[in-house]
Amino acid sequence: MRFVRQLCPALVAVFIASAPVAAADVFPLADDPVLTGLVGEALAKSPELRMASEAAAAAGARVRQVSALPDPTLTIGYANGGHGWAPGSDDDTGVGVAFTQALPYPGKRALAEQVLSREAQEANHLTHRARLDLVYRVRRAWADLLLARENLTLVADQQRATRDIEELTRSRYAVGLAGQSDVLRAQAELARLDQMRFHELGEEESATAELNRLLVRPAGTLAPEGPRLGVLDPKAVRVPDRDELLAGLDETTPVVAAGTARVDRSLAALALARRDLRPDFMAGASYLNRGSLPDMFTIDVGIVAPFYKGRKQKLAVTEAEARLRSDEAARDAMRGRARATAERGLADFRASVLEARTYAQGVLTVDALAVESAIASFQAGKAPFVTVLEAHNALYRDRWQYTDLLFHVLWHSAALDARMTGE
C-alpha cells in the first residue's frame, strides 16, 4: 500500500502530460491532419514544455526524500584515563564508536511528505497549463497564417475584378461614354491593392516565423500548406452552451486546479506546524574497546524539547494559518476570474460564429447581386461609374470582414479549448 501511495504522484504526472487538449474541443480545425502534425511536433520539441515537465519531475522526486529519517551521526573516538596510551591501561582508556539517530515525533514525516506531494501536484497542473498554452499558441499562429493566405487570395481576386472594371471603363472612355477621372479612379484602386498585398505578405512571413519558433525549426522554414480559411463553414461550427463550458471548469482549468493544490499544501503545512509543537527524540549508542578489559556499552535516549515555542513553533503555526487563508482567497479569486473569463470568451466565440453565419447566408449574396446590377446599369448608361465602384468595394469590404470573422472563430475557439481563463 505504501508503494502505491508513493507511485501515485508519478502516475498523476503521466496522466496530465497525456491528457487531451480540453474536455470538449470546439476548435473547428482540431482534426486537420496538417495542424495535428504541427501540434505534435511542438509538444515533442518545445523547450518551454520540457522546462515545465522537468520542474514537475524534480518536485516529484523531492516527495520521498522528505519522509526519510534524518541522517544518523557516526563518531569514532579515543579516550585516555591518564595511566597509559594503550587500550586497557586503565578502566577509562580505549577506542570507542558512537551512533546517534534523530527521531522526529510520530506523524511529522508523513505530514512533510504530504506538503511536498501537494507541491508536486501543483507543478503537474502547471505543466498541463504549459501544454495547453503551447497548443493554443500553435493554433493561433496557424490561424494567423491561414488568415494571411486567405487575404492574399482575396487581394488577387479583387485585383482581377478591379482590372476588369478598369478595362471596361477605359473602353467606354475611348468611345466617350466615361470620363478620364473614372479610369484614374480604377487605376488608383489597383495601386492600393498592391499595397494591401505587400502588407499581407508581411503577415504571412510573421505567422511563419512564429510557427518556426514554436516548432523549434530553423529560421526561414516554409510552413506547410493547409486548408483555406474561406472553406470553413460557420454553420457547422459547434458552440457549447454555458452549462457545458462551466461544468468541471475548476478541474479542467490548470491555474484553478493548481490553486486548489496550493490550498491542500497549506492545509498539510498547517498540520505539520502544529505537530512541530511536539518534541522530537534522539537515540544513541556507543561502544568502547578497552583492550584486555571488558568492553563497555552505553545507550542514550534524548528529547529535543520545544522550550522556545513561543517565539518559534507557535509563530510558525500563525504563519501557516495566515498562508492558508491567503491561498484560499487566491483560489476563490482565481475561480471567479476563470468563470467570468470563460463566459466572456464564450460570448465572443458565439458572436463571431453568428456574425459569420449572417455574412455567409445573406450579406455576401446581396453584395454580389448589387455588383452585377451596378455593372449592368453602367454598361447600359443608366448609372455612373461611382455606383459600380461603390458596389464593388462594398462586396470586397464585406468579404474581408467575413474572412476576419472566420479568423476570430478560430481564435476564440482555440482560447476556449486551451482554458485561457486564468490569465
CATH number of 2-68+107-257+337-417: 1.20.1600.10
pLDDT at residue 58 is higher than 60: yes
pLDDT tens by residue, 82-118: 788 888 788 888 899 999 999 999 999 999 999 999 9
Task: Output 25 or 49, whichever has higher pLDDT.
Answer: 49
pLDDT at 13 over 50: no
Q: What are phi and psi of 99, to 5 degrees?
A: -130, 130
Q: How confident is the model at residue 18 (pLDDT cuts 50, 70, 90)?
A: very low
So what's the pLDDT on residue 232? Answer: 87
Average pLDDT over residues 17-27: 54
- pLDDT(360) > 90: no
Q: How confident is the model at residue 385 (pLDDT cuts 50, 70, 90)?
A: low
Per-residue pLDDT at 8: 39
How does residue 174 score in pLDDT terms, banded at 50, 70 and 90?
low
**Least trusted range by pLDDT, from 34-38, 231-235, 269-273:** 231-235
| Mean pLDDT (whole number) for 238-246 | 86
**Rounded Cα distance, 210 and 139, in Å:** 11
Question: Does residue 22 surpass a pLDDT of 50?
Answer: no
Average pLDDT, the chain: 84
Confidence category of residue 122, pLDDT binned at 50, 70, 90: very high
Buried b (16+ CB within 10 A) or exposed e, 158-181: bbebbeebbebbeebbeeeebeee
CB 245 within 8 A of CB 416: yes
User: What's residue 291's pLDDT?
Assistant: 84
CB atoms within 10 A of CB 191: 8
Give domain limits for the chain. 2-68+107-257+337-417
Q: Where are the alpha helices (DSSP H) in 215-276?
A: 242-246, 249-252, 254-275
Distance CA 410, CA 7 (A): 40
Beta strands in 104-146 (DSSP E): none
Is 4's pLDDT higher than 50?
no
Q: How far is CA 403 from the centre of its chain?
A: 27
pLDDT reading at 320 higher than 90: yes
* Predicted pLDDT of residue 420: 55
Whether 31 and 105 have beta carbons less than 8 Å apart is answered as: no
pLDDT tier at 9, thresholds 50, 70, 90 = very low
Q: Which DSSP category does 288 fall into?
A: E
Q: How much of the chain, in percent, has pLDDT values that exceed 90?
A: 48
What is the distance of C-alpha 309 from the center of its chain?
Answer: 43
Q: What's the CA angle centered on 22, arms 239 and 237, to 5 degrees? A: 25
Segment 305-329 shows an average pLDDT of: 93
H or E segment and range at residue 280: strand 280-289
| Band of pLDDT at residue 244, cut at 50, 70 and 90 | confident
Place of cell 471596361: 168
Q: How confident is the model at residue 398 (pLDDT cuts 50, 70, 90)?
A: confident
pLDDT computed for residue 423 by the predictor: 42
Least confident of 7-11, 87-91, 274-278: 7-11
Strands 94-103 and 280-289: antiparallel
